[in-house]
């Protein structure tokens, strides 16, 4: 790779090279430790004499910008501290819109490695210690061999056939979803599935209905696309269908495990929702994000499998069964939407990287996903039981869980008014992460409570962490 230096005209050549190198080092563009090309090569590249370049290197070395190491070459000196780049702030035609994006409040950004707490009841994080890294490595090796056979072209926007088939088989078997491989579009997580479906449905100003409280990133996404998002209250059977506006183009729901409250949608409510969607011509997004983990009672039908009208788009993810950082999810689309979503996918970012697609196809095909889900199911069930036992026991004076049958988070409500922000802050001081429900509410009055995830916290850490919670509650409530 050539070092980027631009020569203008034929005058003052040594100085042109000198100025550009010095400026690059001062600005930090050429970082400390970077090796410069041998003077002979740079001279040839720029059509200058070798002496011009080596004189310039010498001058910069004398000025401490560069350092020569005998036998290995010339490097940018570690002693130089880059100066700040100066740029005026332009006045932009789109400034208002940029500001709106910048001020978006995203409640669910996960902490980075450095920012994590020792005991964390965060939602959406999985049991990483359980991740079958050796199996995944083997599947990735397999995927690399698949990749070697392809021709250096773009792949299919809808996903590689092997993975679409594996996903269709998996969800037909385990969730009774009514689909074949052709109905499946592979996405970068469920969030992208929502984005694509919304793109092909939402025109500015049209109405999208969703649960309140509900999944905040979905709300932000629909609003960002120009929709008017209608907040529909939920009761203990799920979304209140009669409150869904008649002019809704899209209805977003989480029937298996309401996000964030947790209760499943009743059968009657599901039927009413399907009937209403058909009547008003709306598409329903069924976000089935973590229903692979089900603990009690008989399974319920997915909305998608009850749908005789072709109005349900079923969205799933491997962020909960495997890892969020893999960014692998999917949509199962009714025939009416399929081509449109695939086109939107290509325009947005062409397709999901092929390597993880092939790895996942192999992982599912070899039965490793099922095995992993079984193992995690047992672990999550244990953690859930532990939390429920404490809530029914020594924590019962202050809080109770909303009954739910699936997933790996639960909503825990306070029995009496309490300063939740204070509680969260005090717990954070003892390295325990708790998360209020506040950010999930939009128009509906906030009920004081917590969303308690049990993916990231180890089973043995639950009791000590809840001991501290009890101690703090005793003090403040």
Q: Is 264 exposed, middle or buried (0-12, 13-18, 19+ CB in 10 A)?
A: buried
- Contacts with its own copies by CB under 8 A: the residue count is 145
Q: Among all chains, which residue has been given the structure tokens 């086109």? A: 343
CA distance readout (Å), 43 to 13, 355, 470: 11, 41, 72
Task: For its own copies, give the closer residue by CB, 47 or 445.
Answer: 47
Question: Least distance from C-beta 397 to its own copies, angstroms?
Answer: 32
Tell which one of 15, 73, 101, 243 touches its own copies (CB under 8 A).
101
Neighbours of 381 (CB within 10 A): 16
**Residue 106 makes contact with its own copies by CB under 8 A:** yes
Question: Rounded to an integer, what distance in angstroms lies between the CA atom of residue 265 and that of residue 236?
Answer: 8
Tell which one of 71, 72, 79, 87 touches its own copies (CB under 8 A).
87
Question: Least distance from C-beta 230 to its own copies, angstroms?
Answer: 13
Q: What H or E segment, with its residue span, contains residue 171?
A: helix 161-175
Assess contact for 425 and 416: CB atoms under 8 A. Answer: no
User: Closest by alpha carbon to 173, among 302, 330, 265, 263?
Assistant: 302
Its sign, for the CA torsion 361, 367, 368, 373, is positive
Question: Least distance from C-beta 372 to its own copies, angstroms?
Answer: 10
Tell which one of 310, 378, 382, 397 touches its own copies (CB under 8 A).
310
Draw the binding track, 130-149, toward its own copies (x: CB under 8 A; -: no contact).
-x-x--xx--xx--x--xxx
Question: Least distance from C-beta 299 to its own copies, angstroms?
Answer: 6
**Residue 44 makes contact with its own copies by CB under 8 A:** no
Q: Is 316 exposed, middle or buried (0-12, 13-18, 19+ CB in 10 A)?
A: buried
**Residue 41 makes contact with its own copies by CB under 8 A:** no
Binding residues for its own copies restricted to 179-208, rule: CB under 8 A: 179-180, 187-189, 191-192, 195, 199-204, 206
Its sign, for the CA torsion 463, 467, 473, 474, is positive
Task: For its own copies, give the closer residue by CB, 137 or 415.
Answer: 137
Beta-bridge mates of residue 231: 210
Stretch of residues binding its own copies (CB under 8 A), selected from 129-137, 232-240, 380-388, 437-445: 129-137
Question: Rounded to an integer, what distance in angstroms lies between the CA atom of residue 330 and that of residue 333?
Answer: 9
Question: Rounded to an integer, what distance in angstroms lies between the CA atom of residue 292 and that of residue 378?
Answer: 12
Question: Least distance from C-beta 327 to its own copies, angstroms?
Answer: 4
Neighbours of 440 (CB within 10 A): 26
Binding residues for its own copies restricted to 209-238, rule: CB under 8 A: 217, 220-221, 224, 226
Binding residues for its own copies restricted to 333-392, rule: CB under 8 A: 334-337, 339-341, 343-344, 346-356, 369-370, 373-374
**Residue 284 makes contact with its own copies by CB under 8 A:** no
Assess contact for 176 and 305: CB atoms under 8 A. Answer: yes
Question: Least distance from C-beta 297 to its own copies, angstroms?
Answer: 10
**Residue 46 makes contact with its own copies by CB under 8 A:** yes
Question: Rounded to an integer, what distance in angstroms lies between the CA atom of residue 160 and that of residue 172?
Answer: 18
Assess contact for 225 and 202: CB atoms under 8 A. Answer: yes
Coil/strand/helix, residue 344? helix
Assess contact for 97 and 295: CB atoms under 8 A. Answer: no
**Residue 299 makes contact with its own copies by CB under 8 A:** yes
Task: For its own copies, give the closer residue by CB, 236 or 275.
Answer: 275
Binding residues for its own copies restricted to 163-182, rule: CB under 8 A: 169-170, 172-180
**Residue 152 makes contact with its own copies by CB under 8 A:** yes
Coil/strand/helix, residue 156? coil
Assess contact for 222 and 449: CB atoms under 8 A. Answer: no
Question: Least distance from C-beta 144 to its own copies, angstroms?
Answer: 5
Task: For its own copies, give the closer residue by CB, 103 or 416.
Answer: 103
Assess contact for 191 and 331: CB atoms under 8 A. Answer: no
Binding residues for its own copies restricted to 5-24, rule: CB under 8 A: 5-7, 24
Binding residues for its own copies restricted to 240-279, rule: CB under 8 A: 247-250, 278
Coil/strand/helix, residue 249? strand
Tell which one of 10, 11, 69, 113 touches its own copies (CB under 8 A).
113
Tell which one of 16, 156, 256, 304 touches its own copies (CB under 8 A).
156
Task: For its own copies, give the closer residue by CB, 24 or 473.
Answer: 24
Tell me 49's DSSP state: -
Question: Least distance from C-beta 195 to its own copies, angstroms?
Answer: 5
Task: For its own copies, give the closer residue by CB, 200 or 423.
Answer: 200
Binding residues for its own copies restricted to 426-465, rule: CB under 8 A: 455-456
Question: Rounded to an integer, what distance in angstroms lies between the CA atom of residue 315 and that of residue 287?
Answer: 5
Tell me 309's DSSP state: S
């Amino acid at each position: 790779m050539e070092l980027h230096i631009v020569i203008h005209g034929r005058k003052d050549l040594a100085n042109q090279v000198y100025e550009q190198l010095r400026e690059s080092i001062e600005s930090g563009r050429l970082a400390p430790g970077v090796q410069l090309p041998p003077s002979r090569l740079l001279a040839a590249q720029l059509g200058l004499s070798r002496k011009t370049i080596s004189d310039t290197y010498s001058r910069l070395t004398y000025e401490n910008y560069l350092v020569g190491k005998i036998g290995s070459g010339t490097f940018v000196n570690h002693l130089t501290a880059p100066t700040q780049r100066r740029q005026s702030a332009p006045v932009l035609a789109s400034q208002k819109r940029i500001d709106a994006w910048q001020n978006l409040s995203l409640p669910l950004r996960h902490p980075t490695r450095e920012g994590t707490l020792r005991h964390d009841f965060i939602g959406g994080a999985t049991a990483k210690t359980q991740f079958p890294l050796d199996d995944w490595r083997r599947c990735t090796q397999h995927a690399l061999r698949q990749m070697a056979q392809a021709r250096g072209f773009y792949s299919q926007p809808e996903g590689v056939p092997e993975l679409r088939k594996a996903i269709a088989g998996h969800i037909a078997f385990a969730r009774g979803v009514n689909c074949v491989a052709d109905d499946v579009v592979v996405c970068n997580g469920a969030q992208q599935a929502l984005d694509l479906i919304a793109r092909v449905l939402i025109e500015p100003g049209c109405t999208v209905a969703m649960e309140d409280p509900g999944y905040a990133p979905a709300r932000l996404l629909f609003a960002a696309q120009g929709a008017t998002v209608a907040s529909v209250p939920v009761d203990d059977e799920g979304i209140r269908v009669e409150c869904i506006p008649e002019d809704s183009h899209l209805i977003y729901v989480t029937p298996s495990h309401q996000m964030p409250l947790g209760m499943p949608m009743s059968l009657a409510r599901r039927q009413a929702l399907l009937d209403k969607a058909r009547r008003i011509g709306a598409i329903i997004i069924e976000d089935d994000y973590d229903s692979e983990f089900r603990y009690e009672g008989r399974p319920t039908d997915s909305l998608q499998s009850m749908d005789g009208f072709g109005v349900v788009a079923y969205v799933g993810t491997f962020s909960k069964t495997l890892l969020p950082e893999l960014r692998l999810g999917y949509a199962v689309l009714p025939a009416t939407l399929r081509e449109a979503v695939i086109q939107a996918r290509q325009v947005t970012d062409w397709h999901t990287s092929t390597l993880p697609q092939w790895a996942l196809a192999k992982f599912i095909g070899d039965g490793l996903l099922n095995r992993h889900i079984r193992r995690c199911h047992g672990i999550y069930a244990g953690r859930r039981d532990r939390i429920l036992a404490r809530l029914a026991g020594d924590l019962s004076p202050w809080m109770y869980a909303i009954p739910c049958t699936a997933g790996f988070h639960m909503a825990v409500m306070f029995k009496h008014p309490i300063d939740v922000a204070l509680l969260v802050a005090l717990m954070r001081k003892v390295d325990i992460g708790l998360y209020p429900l506040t950010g999930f509410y939009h128009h509906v009055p906030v009920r004081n409570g917590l969303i308690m995830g049990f993916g990231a916290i180890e089973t043995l850490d639950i009791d000590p962490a809840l001991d501290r919670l009890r101690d703090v509650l005793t003090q403040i409530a």
